[in-house]
Amino acid sequence: MALMHRTTIMLPTALKLGAQRRARELRVSLGDLIRSCLESAVTGGASKAPRADPFLSDREIFTGPVPRDISRRHDDHLYGDWP
């Protein structure tokens, strides 16, 4: 890991709140988010910016009827009966 230097920056309230919200969405620390954004800005976009996990980002909830054996026979319910 690279040597880290502590730095203080001044942010407008709306920007800080937005950055905190985005960091929570990505499940990373605010420091990690700021470092990845700065790296991207400095390198012209060639950064290892954190990406949201698509599985954890899914906010959809199915509220329809569910078979009682869904967990035991999920493949059958998803793909149909296999020979």
> Residue 40, CB half-sphere, CA atoms under 13 Å: how many?
11
pLDDT tens string 26-40? 999 999 999 999 988
How much is the pLDDT for 43? 85
Write out the H or E segment, with its range, that includes residue 11.
none
Nearest to 26 by CA among 64, 57, 58, 55: 57
Digit-coded pLDDT (tens) for 6-25? 999 999 999 999 999 999 99
Q: CA-to-CA distance for 69 and 77, rounded, in angstroms?
A: 9
